[in-house]
Amino acid sequence: MAKAARKSAPPAAPDLDEDDENFALRSLQQAHAKNRRYKADKDELLKLYEQMLLIRRFEEKAGQLYGLGLIGGFCHLYIGQEAVAVGLQSALDNDKDSVITGYRDHGHMLAYGLDPKVIMAELTGRAAGISKGKGGSMHMFSVEHRFYGGHGIVGAQVPLGTGLAFAHKYRKDGGVCVAYFGDGAANQGQVYESFNMASLWKLPIIFVIEDNQYAMGTASRRSSAETHFHRRGTAFRIPGMDVDGMDVLEVRQAAEIALDFVRQGNGPVLMELNTYRYRGHSMSDPAKYRSREEVQEMREKHDPIERAKIELIGLGESEEALKKLDKQVRALVSEAADFSENSPEPDLSELYTDVLVERY
């Protein structure tokens, strides 16, 4: 996608040489270059499209509810980045694998196929929310789905995810942890301490850097000495993959290659997902650090949902059926909004539950 315009292209990897000590570090990127896109049939692509559309419409509605004062505190929308969570999470084994991310987390929850009602209820602070209305936008959590948050502390999810991966290995449960974090978080020290441990102990983890090109108001090219983020594991012997995060089929295929490698006990993989957020950092961001034209160009030329739509039409899906699907998704989201507006807030007694007071 726009990456070539934004970053100078990395030099082409030379042909593989098994004797080359760097072989393992480039092997996944090579495998990815050879087999870039998942070959989805119409029904599979339709499912991915529907999930991305649900995230888009859900986030648009969340933005409206925020404007009406129904959502308090911080709210970070995922609009533009949908193909990342959907492409990756569609490749996971939901009975085994775990996921952890930062505060931009509604899309990751929806990508599990969770009922949008419980997510919207969480956003609006209602008792029916996935964290009983006590977590809000940044602190979604579901042990049942092995989704471990939702974290407001930038980068904190990386060592926590490394701990989850340690638990997978210790318990021999066959699971892999996917730990998502941003281009800004990628400059934190704790990230590299985690890389070292994960590689040393060959932990089953995929580190996913969602490079949406900005950390709050700072462009990654202004804050990062190395913007080819997939190279940042090299010092720890972690193979990297450079992926177009605006193409759901490319994300899905790359996820399969990475998962296969990690499941075989080879240790971590570092994936760089090149993407873009259309909205501000949070709802209170006036976005003065970039031009309207830049956002417009991404929307018009690289939108992941539009791209999937064009492909679906190429596979024989009718425009009418897609319009109908959009209507159904909008209705589902409206229902979720009505449900949350009309649900009760948590009881006051909830102030005293889920609080860790005992020693352990």
Residues found near ligand TPP in the complex (CB under 6 A):
104, 152-154, 182-185, 212, 214-216, 281
Report the sign of the C-alpha dihedral through residues 260, 263, 269, 271, in that order: positive
- Cα separation of 128 and 2, whole Å? 41
The alpha carbon of residue 282 and the mean position of all alpha carbons in its chain are separated, in whole angstroms, by: 16
| Interaction partner, residue 169 (Mg ion, ligand TPP, none; CB < 5-8 Å by kind) | none
212 binds Mg ion (CB under 5 A): yes
Residue 252: Cβ within 10 Å count: 23
| Interaction partner, residue 185 (Mg ion, ligand TPP, none; CB < 5-8 Å by kind) | ligand TPP
Pairing of strands 269-274, 240-244: parallel
Minimum CB distance to ligand TPP smaller for 212 or for 343: 212
Give the shortest CB-212-to-ligand TPP separation in angstroms: 5
Give the shortest CB-212-to-Mg ion separation in angstroms: 4
Give the shortest CB-184-to-Mg ion separation in angstroms: 5
- Cα separation of 209 and 275, whole Å? 10
Residue 330: Cβ within 10 Å count: 16
Residue 325 is classified by DSSP as: H
221, amino acid identity: R
Please, what is the angle between helix 42-67 and helix 248-263, to 10°?
110
Q: Which residue is nearest to ligand TPP (CB)?
A: 182
CB 150 within 8 A of CB 140: yes
Site string (176-205) toward Mg ion, x via CB under 5 A: ------xx----------------------
| Phi, psi angles (nearest 5°) of residue 309 | -65, -45
Minimum CB distance to ligand TPP smaller for 168 or for 277: 277
Minimum CB distance to ligand TPP smaller for 51 or for 212: 212
Among residues 215, 271, 305, 337, the one that binds Mg ion under rule CB under 5 A: 215
How many residues sit close enough to Mg ion to count as binding (CB under 5 A)?
4
Give the shortest CB-181-to-ligand TPP separation in angstroms: 6
Give the shortest CB-154-to-ligand TPP separation in angstroms: 4
Minimum CB distance to ligand TPP smaller for 32 or for 104: 104
Give the shortest CB-210-to-Mg ion separation in angstroms: 7
Q: Which residue is nearest to Mg ion (CB)?
A: 182
- Cα separation of 209 and 195, whole Å? 13
Minimum CB distance to Mg ion smaller for 183 or for 272: 183
Taking only Cα atoms into account, the Rg of the chain, rounded to an integer number of angstroms, comes to 20
Residue 142 is classified by DSSP as: B
Residue 147 is classified by DSSP as: B
| Interaction partner, residue 104 (ligand TPP, Mg ion, none; CB < 5-8 Å by kind) | ligand TPP
Residues in contact with Mg ion by CB under 5 A are 182-183, 212, 215
